[in-house]
Amino acid sequence: MNRKSPFSYVCNACGRCCHDKVITLSPYDVLRLARAAGITTREAIARYTIRRGSILKFTDGGACAALEGARCGVHRGRSLACRLYPLGIENGEDGDGDKFVTLDPAAGSLGVYGDDGAVNDFLDAQRVGSYLEANAGCASLMAVFRERIAATADFDRVEPREFWRRAVREALAESGYDANPLIDAIFDVGGIGCAASGDAETIAAHLERLAEMIRGESNAELLAAAAVMLAVSIGQGPAAAHTDAEI
């Protein structure tokens, strides 16, 4: 499906889609979630996420940590994945832009699918534009990461494939991981001197500060793990953290 494909969906607030999911969060997702809850991004990471801010937390009973009954307690700050549901987004590789797929409905869902309109109408109604723009800004940091990793990693001494395998394991570990100030900073959007009032201004300041941190870091393994984490958080996948020439 593309943006012009027929599609519509009516949510009937049954809360069934808010259970037993794995929802990856971007830095912008964490910022919007925190602002909707009226707390700092650091507090939002502790309250609503796992894996250092990169995944939405669910309770032992399977409910989203933000769910209040059948309603989302941070609805105006819900994540991109939540806004897109029941669509999934794929990064286009053929020049036609984003591709979309319909997801299987949650068991017992009261949501109603249809074709009264187009995918783009649904996206506009869910206000996903700012999320996609913020993710595109984060994607621009991948080149900064790759440049700095190339300058700090000794691939004559360290086998590139193993180097990147370790980076992926470290980035995606849910426990037992090493401290990484870059990963902490990626998701703690308000915690590194980015107190601008608007979301767009905050993200812009955040990305600028992150770029400074990346250029000032000399530990290639920290850089690589953070690069993988950022790439995964914005839906690009671990491979976006490196060039084919490196492996």
pTM above 0.85, yes or no: yes
CA distances to 17, 58, 244 from 104, rounded to whole Å, are 10, 20, 34
In this predicted structure, the answer to whether residue 177 has a pLDDT above a threshold of 60 is: yes
Q: What is the mean pLDDT of residues 185-213?
A: 82
Give the C-alpha distances (Å, rounded to integers) separating 43 from 53, 73, 122. Answer: 10, 15, 31
Q: With a cut of 60, say whether residue 165 has pLDDT above it.
A: yes
Count CB atoms within 10 A of the CB of residue 107. 9
Segment 37-65 shows an average pLDDT of 94
Each residue's pLDDT tens digit, 185-196:
999 997 654 455
**Rounded to whole angstroms, how far apart are CA atoms 190 and 71?**
27
Confidence of residue 37 (pLDDT cuts 50, 70, 90): very high
Per-residue pLDDT at 97: 55
Kindly state the percentage of the chain with pLDDT values over 90: 75
Q: Which two tokens stand for residue 125?
A: 């109604």
Six-digit token string for 211: 């770029």
Structure-token match 């849910």, residue found: 174
Tokens of 53: 């801010």
